[in-house]
A = this chain, B = another copy of it.
Amino acid sequence: MQVAIPLYRRFTALDAVGPYTVMAFAPGCTVTFVAAEPGPVTDDRGSLTLQATAGYADLPRPDVVIVPGGAGTFDALHDQALVDWIAEAHAHTRWTTSVCSGSLLLGAAGLLRGTKATTHWAILDMLAQYGAEPVSERVVTQGKIVTAAGVSAGIDMALTLLAGAIDVETAQAVQLAIEYDPQPPFNAGSPKTAPKGLAERTLALLT
């Protein structure tokens, strides 16, 4: 199974590397970071650089596309080569997916009209601009389009994808391989549970 993760300037590292690690641990999965041209791409913190090893033209028909989000998504919405690659790859994928603000790029590619979709809580309403019905859930599956909530939600999404792509036992084996038995030290990971006033403080970290 060929999995492609497009990188663009100022993506969020964990959006890409969470699902990458899950998929790359599964037998028979090959995960490739793609960009307009192969080469280094730097994240939205400015301190992590991942190598894209293929150009869009090298990988036109991956089985799975995982589009990460990040502060750079808003610029990337105007990157026609990226948006076109998503739209064209989608015609042949088994799954077309996103993490965090990556769903806006699925929207820009015209894939979310009339579907439920999710994204980072801070920008959930923006999905409506693309004809989607914003849903506040961790992972939203609509046919072959799967969208995940913010950043870390890509890990949950990728395990769900693996169960569908291969089988539940393989997804569970990968979960055990990455010892994904999360124990967050605080109950602040969702605006539904976070202490009052925390959202305002958090928004300042996201830009």
Contact = CB atoms under 8 A, between A and B. Distances in A.
Interface of A: 12-14, 17-18, 20-21, 24-27, 30-33, 40, 43, 45, 47-51, 53, 100, 120-121, 138-139, 149-153, 155-156, 159-160, 163, 168-169, 171-186, 188-191, 193-195, 198-199, 201-202, 205-206
A172 B152 contact: no
Given A13-B21, A30-B47, A33-B48, A138 B177 contact: no
B48 A50 contact: yes
Given A14-B18, A198-B169, A159 B180 contact: no
The 9 closest A-B pairs by CB, nearest first: A150-B179, A181-B189, A172-B188, A182-B182, A14-B21, A151-B178, A49-B51, A24-B45, A181-B190
A201 B167 CA distance: 13
A64 to B, nearest CB: 14
Contact of A151 (B20, B26, B49, B177): B177
Contacts of A45: 21, 24-25, 31
16 contacts: A13-B20, A14-B20, A17-B18, A18-B18, A31-B48, A32-B47, A49-B53, A150-B179, A156-B185, A159-B185, A168-B186, A172-B188, A172-B195, A174-B202, A175-B186, A177-B205
A205 B173 contact: yes
Given A21-B14, A45-B25, A176 B199 contact: yes
Nearest to A197: B169
Given A48-B17, A186-B168, A176 B152 contact: no
Contacts of A31: 45, 47-48
A159 B14 CA distance: 14
B51 A179 contact: no
